[in-house]
Amino acid sequence: MAVPGQWTGSAGGWLHVYVHTHSTEVPHRPALRRRIPLELTREQLELLERAQKRYGTKRATLVAGIEALPRLEAIEKELGERSNACEQALARAAELERTLDRTQAEAGRTKKGAAAAKKADQTSADALARAKKLAEERDQLRRVLAAEHDERKRLEAELAQLEQELFDALHCARCGRLAPPGEWAVREDDEVDLVYHERCGFHRGGLTGSTSVLGVRERR
């Protein structure tokens, strides 16, 4: 059972992560936990301690942040798709508005000429029926747009919450630098994903050097 990282008065700590080994000399060796030093600013440490109330421990809080990364990516993708759908729906609504205006203008002209011929009466009725149908489609589209707008606001709120749970950088033991999210990469390993420092390449660590693995998350 892993011992929680010891915290000092400065804004720093240790992060435990699982590191799977596949040595041929020890085929059934259990997974290890590696202690990774993590330096935080005072503001980041206060944010971590507040989030700890939800997850129980600092390690659980940091792991939860790593596990939230694929959810954040999925939400950003879904938000982009819904944003595109909203823009397309708005374009369709604008086109329907223009079509309705032309139809209503046509209906008005047809109505004025109805007294001149009985045939014009039927044309007017068809135009009015078409205008009514277009108005119903416009109202339905507006309801759909309102629902899409509400869903987009919900996704934006969830995205903002997830961004608060993430951290700005993780310490790479191999190069000794803090790696921001833009330098992270993921490699599949059995039933988990290993998050590593892309600039250093993928290294498990061992006798020949330190690991570039920043963390591990279960594959969902």
In a domain, 195, yes or no: no
In a domain, 86, yes or no: yes
In a domain, 4, yes or no: no
Q: How far apart are CA 196 and CA 17, in angstroms?
A: 12
104 Cβ neighbours under 8 A, 6+ residues apart: 131
In a domain, 105, yes or no: yes
In a domain, 19, yes or no: no
101-149 pLDDT, tens per residue? 888 888 777 666 655 666 666 777 888 888 888 888 888 888 888 888 8
Residue 151 structural domain: 72-164
In a domain, 160, yes or no: yes
In a domain, 130, yes or no: yes
Q: How far apart are CA 136 and CA 103, in angstroms?
A: 14
Q: How far apart are CA 19 and CA 170, in angstroms?
A: 16
58-93 pLDDT, tens per residue? 788 788 888 878 888 888 888 888 888 888 888 888
- The total of other beta-carbon atoms located within 10 Å of residue 144's CB is 15
DSSP 166: S
Count of structural domains, the chain: 1
| Predicted structure pTM score | 0.30
8 Å CB contact between 66 and 107: no
In a domain, 87, yes or no: yes
